[in-house]
Structure 1
Amino acid sequence: MEPKSPAPALYITGLGSQYPPYLLGPEEFEKFTARFYDMSRPGIKKLLQLNRSTGIETRSAIQPYETEFATQPDAPAISEIDQFFRQAGVDLTVQACKKALEEAQVAPRQITHTIGVTCTNSGNPGYDLLVARHLNLPPHVDRMLLHGVGCAGGLSILRAAAQIAGGASLRRKPARILAFACELCTPNLRHYLSLAETCTEADQPNIAGALFSDAAAAFVLCNEYAMAGNEQVPRLFELLEWGYDLIPNTIEHMSFYADIDGYRAVISRDVPEYTKHAIGPMFERLLPSYEEQVKSQSRAGGSQPLGSLGICDFDWALHPGGRAIIDGAAQVLQLSEDQLQATREIYRTRGNSSSASVLNVLDRLRSQSKKEHVVATSFGPGLSIEMALLRRCQLGEY
C-alpha cells in the first residue's frame, strides 16, 4: 500500500470584522414600531414580546431608526434594498477585507481567489465584483460567490476556500484566498413588521425581526506554497478538518427568499431542537482525522505524545443564531461558559448577523481563547450544518 500523502497545510493568516456604527436596543425598536404600526395587533404584540426576551442588548445596524428607510411612509421596495446594499454593504465589506489583508500582510495584487457570500443581496454581477473593484484586485482574480447557504455562509466560504487551496497545493501553486461575508438585515425590518401586523395568530409572527443585525467579516486563507520563504506571514489558525451535512427532514424549518416587498426569512420554533442534536455527531465524525493530524505534527516536531481530545478541549465558535440555539448546544454538549464566551458576547452585543456572525465570533474568540483547539460551527437553510476544526497557532499572544 502506498503511503498516505500529507494533507495540504492551510492557514488563516488574517481576520477582519466590521460592524456598522449604530447599536440599537430593544426599546428603540419598540419606539420605531409604534411610529408606523398598530401596537394592538396580536402579531405585533408577540414580536415585541420576543424582542424583549431574546437576550440581545444591542443590535448592530447600518442606519438608526430615524433616517431613510425608517422614516418612509411605506416599507422600502426590494429594488431600494438592493441598491442600498450595493453601496453600503459593499463599503462595509471592503472595510472588513482591508483589515484581513493588512493583518495577513498580503497586498491586493497578490490575491489569487475571492469567495463571497450574502443572503441579503441577489444582484448580478454579484457584489463580490464591486468589492474586488474597490480593493483594486487584479482583473484575473478567480472569483466565486455563494448563494442559498444563509446563516451557514461564513463557514461555507471557509470550506470552499479550503477545497480550492487544497487543489492548488496538488498543482504546486500558491493560493491566497480572500473570503468575505456581508449581511444588511436592518433595511428589511419594515417588511417583517408589516408581516407581523397582518398576522392573525399571536404565536405565528416571524422572529427574524427581533434577531437579525448588520455586519461584515473577512479572512485570508493561504496554502503552503503561498507562504513558502516568508516566515513573517502571520499564522492565526491552521485549518485541519471541515465538514458539511444536512439534517434529515428539516427543509421546511428554515428558508430565506425574495418577496415582492423585501426578503422574507422563515425560522420555525423547532430549529434549536434540531441543531443541538446535530452538532455532536458531526464533531465526533471529524475529530479522528483532526486528532491524527495534530498527533502527526507533534511527532514531526518532537513534542510529547498527544492524548485523546474531546469536546472539553476545544473552544467553540458557535453561530449565535438565537439564545435557544446557544443554550441548547451548551446543554447537550455540556459546554462551559468559558467555551462559549465569545459566542454569547457577540450575540448579546451585536445580535445575529447571519453569514458573517460565525466569523465575527472566531475573530473575537482569538483575543479571549485559552485553548489550542477550536471548533467553528454554523447552521443554514436545509437545515444544513457546517463545521471546521482549527488549531490555534498564536496561543497566548493576545
Structure 2
Amino acid sequence: MTINGAHNHLQAEPPLWIVGLGAQYPPYLFGPEKLEQMVAKFHDPESAAFKKLLAVNRSSGIETRALVRPYDKGFTNLTNPPTICELDVFYRQAGVDLTVQACRKALKEWGGSYQDITHTVAVTCTNAGNPGYDLLVAQKLGLRSNLDRILLHGVGCAGGLAIIRAAAQILNGASLRRKPARVLAFACELCSPNVRCDLADVAATRYIDEINIAGALFGDGAAAVVLCNDFAMTPEDQAIFRLVDWANDTIPGTYGHMGFLTDPTGFRTVLSKDVPTFTKNAIKPTFERLLPSFRERTDQGELDALDFDWALHPGGTAIIDGAQNSMNLSNDQLRATKEIYRTRGNSSSPTVLIVLDKLRTMGTGRENVVAASFGPGLAIEMAMMQRVRCSSYEEFGDV
C-alpha cells in the first residue's frame, strides 16, 4: 500500500516511513559555571591547559547541558575519576532507563503493539559491554525474544543517522521479500560521568593546542525512532516523514582527528582543531551526491539546499557555522540545531535525532528535510526525507 499520494512511478521501490519519534533528556542541568567549580575543586584553574579549556567553556554558546545525576552527587564529586568498570555498571542502569523512556515515546506515537516490532538497531559509544545494552532495553520494553537485533559501535556522533541507514537497509531487504518490517532504532549516550576523565586528560596534556575540550561540550541524552516499510503500514498508521534517500562517506586523511578510545580510567576523547574544516568541506559534496536521486524520487526537479530544513548535528559552534556558510543556509533553516545546541549542547549519537524531533515543533517548516551528522573516521552521515504530517509532540525532559 501507499499513503499520502506516493508517486506511481515509485511503486517498484516501496517507500519507507518514519512513524514514531521520541527524545529524552535527563532532568538535571549543568551550566558553564558548574564546570568551573569542578575544575577548581580537583585541578589548578590557573594552569595554561585549564585556562584554555575554561575559555572554551565560557564561549561555547551552550547555556545548559543535561546530566543523569545532579551536579552535587555521583561521579562529579568522587576523589578519583570513575573506572571503565564503574562507568559500565552505571550505564547499564541509568543509560538503559533513559533509552527505555525515549523508546516508549516513539512507540506511543506509532501506536502499534510492541510485539509487532520485528527489528531493533541501536548505537552507543559510551558503553562497550557484552551483551549489548540493546538487549537490556528490549527486555525492559517487553519486546519479543526472537527479535532481530543489531548494535552498532565505533561511529560516535554519527550514530543517530547510522542507525537510520541500517534500519532503511533492513526495511528495503524485507520489501524485496514482500514482508512487513518494523524497526525500533535507538541511541543513548551518557557523557557526563566521563567529565572527570576528560579533566584528568586536560591536566596531563603536554601540548596546549591539543587539549581535550569534551568536558565543555557534551551532555547526556537518548532518542528513538520507529520505521516501517510499506508492507507494514496499516490504515491506522500515520507517517511523520517519508525517508527518501541516505548516504555515508569517510573523509580521506582524517583518521586521527576524532575518536573515543577506551582507557582504564574511562573514555578518552580525541577532537582536533581541524574537525570543523573537514566537516564543512564534506557536507556539500555529500548533499550534492544525494540531491539528484531525491529530486527524481519526489518529482521536484529544481530543488537546492535552500528548499530544505536542516537537522544538523550540533557538534559545536564552528561546525554549525561552517556548515551554514558552506551551504549558504539561513538561521531559520538551522533553527532546531541552534536551539538544541544552546539549551542542551552535544549528546553525541542521539543528538541529530533529537534535533529532528525538535524541528517538527517549530512551525510548519519546509516540506523537505535533510539530516546530517559527523563521527570518528571522519565519517559523514546524511538522510533526506519529506514531511508527511504535523504530529502532537511531548516535550523532552524528565517525563
Same fold (TM over 0.5): yes
Q: Which residue of 2 aligns with 1:335?
A: 329
Report deviation, 1:395.
5.2
One-letter amino acid of the counterpart of residue 320, structure 1: P
SS in 2 for 1:355: coil
**Contact 1:377/1:386, CA 8 A, preserved across alignment:** yes
**Contact 2:30/2:65, CA 8 A, preserved across alignment:** yes
Larger deviation, residues 5-14 vs 318-327: 5-14
Matched, 1:323 2:329: no
Report deviation, 1:397.
7.9
**Contact 2:10/2:297, CA 8 A, preserved across alignment:** no
- What are the superposed Cα offsets for residues 210-268 of structure 1, whole Å, 9 maximum, x if unpaired? 111100000000001111xx222121000010001111111111111101200011010
In the TM superposition, 1:148-297 aligns within 5 A as 148-227=154-233, 230-295=234-299
Tell me, in whole angstroms, the C-alpha distance in 2 between the residues paired with 1:166 and 1:201: 48
- What are the superposed Cα offsets for residues 82-137 of structure 1, whole Å, 9 maximum, x if unpaired? 10000000000000000000000122111000000000000000000000000000
Larger deviation, residues 22-31 vs 198-207: 198-207
Normalising by structure 1, we get a TM-score of 0.94
C-alpha spacing 1:397/1:77, structure 2 compared with 1 (3 Å)? closer
Tell me, in whole angstroms, the C-alpha distance in 2 between the residues paired with 1:199 and 1:189: 15
**Contact 2:295/2:301, CA 8 A, preserved across alignment:** no
Larger deviation, residues 30-39 vs 267-276: 30-39
Tell me, in whole angstroms, the C-alpha distance in 2 between the residues paired with 1:31 and 1:207: 16
SS in 2 for 1:60: strand
Tell me, in whole angstroms, the C-alpha distance in 2 between the residues paired with 1:62 and 1:231: 39
Tell me, in whole angstroms, the C-alpha distance in 1 between the residues paired with 2:334 and 2:82: 37
Larger deviation, residues 313-322 vs 22-31: 22-31
Tell me, in whole angstroms, the C-alpha distance in 2 between the residues paired with 1:396 and 1:310: 26
Q: Which residue of 2 aligns with 1:346?
A: 340
- What are the superposed Cα offsets for residues 257-315 of structure 1, whole Å, 9 maximum, x if unpaired? 101200011010001101111111111111111111111xxxxxxxxxx4510000000
One-letter amino acid of the counterpart of residue 249, structure 1: G
C-alpha spacing 1:7/1:123, structure 2 compared with 1 (3 Å)? same
Larger deviation, residues 349-358 vs 388-397: 388-397
Q: Which residue of 2 aligns with 1:80?
A: 86
SS in 1 for 2:196: helix
Moved over 6 A (4+): none
Q: Which residue of 2 aligns with 1:91?
A: 97
One-letter amino acid of the counterpart of residue 178, structure 1: L
Larger deviation, residues 235-244 vs 191-200: 191-200
Q: Which residue of 2 aligns with 1:130?
A: 136
Q: Which residue of 2 aligns with 1:379?
A: 374
SS in 2 for 1:394: coil
**Contact 1:317/1:375, CA 8 A, preserved across alignment:** yes
Q: Give the counterpart of 1:52 among 58, 67, 75.
A: 58
Tell me, in whole angstroms, the C-alpha distance in 2 between the residues paired with 1:396 and 1:136: 26
SS in 1 for 2:210: coil
**Contact 2:201/2:268, CA 8 A, preserved across alignment:** no
Identity %: 59
Report deviation, 1:38.
1.6
Tell me, in whole angstroms, the C-alpha distance in 2 between the residues paired with 1:143 and 1:307: 38
Report deviation, 1:199.
2.0
One-letter amino acid of the counterpart of residue 212, structure 1: F
- Structure 2 residue ranges without an equivalent (≥5): 1-8, 394-399
Matched, 1:314 2:308: yes
Larger deviation, residues 192-201 vs 168-177: 192-201
Tell me, in whole angstroms, the C-alpha distance in 2 between the residues paired with 1:198 and 1:168: 51
Report deviation, 1:209.
1.1
Tell me, in whole angstroms, the C-alpha distance in 1 between the residues paired with 2:290 and 2:176: 22
Tell me, in whole angstroms, the C-alpha distance in 2 between the residues paired with 1:39 and 1:327: 29
Larger deviation, residues 86-95 vs 28-37: 28-37
Report deviation, 1:8.
2.2
After superposition, the CA RMSD in angstroms is 1.4
**Contact 2:16/2:168, CA 8 A, preserved across alignment:** yes
- Structure 1 residue ranges without an equivalent (≥5): 296-305
**Contact 2:16/2:242, CA 8 A, preserved across alignment:** yes
Q: Which residue of 1 aligns with 2:4?
A: none
Tell me, in whole angstroms, the C-alpha distance in 1 between the residues paired with 2:138 and 2:390: 32
One-letter amino acid of the counterpart of residue 326, structure 2: V
**Contact 2:30/2:64, CA 8 A, preserved across alignment:** yes
Report deviation, 1:198.
2.0
Report deviation, 1:394.
1.0
Aligned length: 384
Matched, 1:39 2:11: no
Normalising by structure 2, we get a TM-score of 0.94
Tell me, in whole angstroms, the C-alpha distance in 2 between the residues paired with 1:222 and 1:30: 46
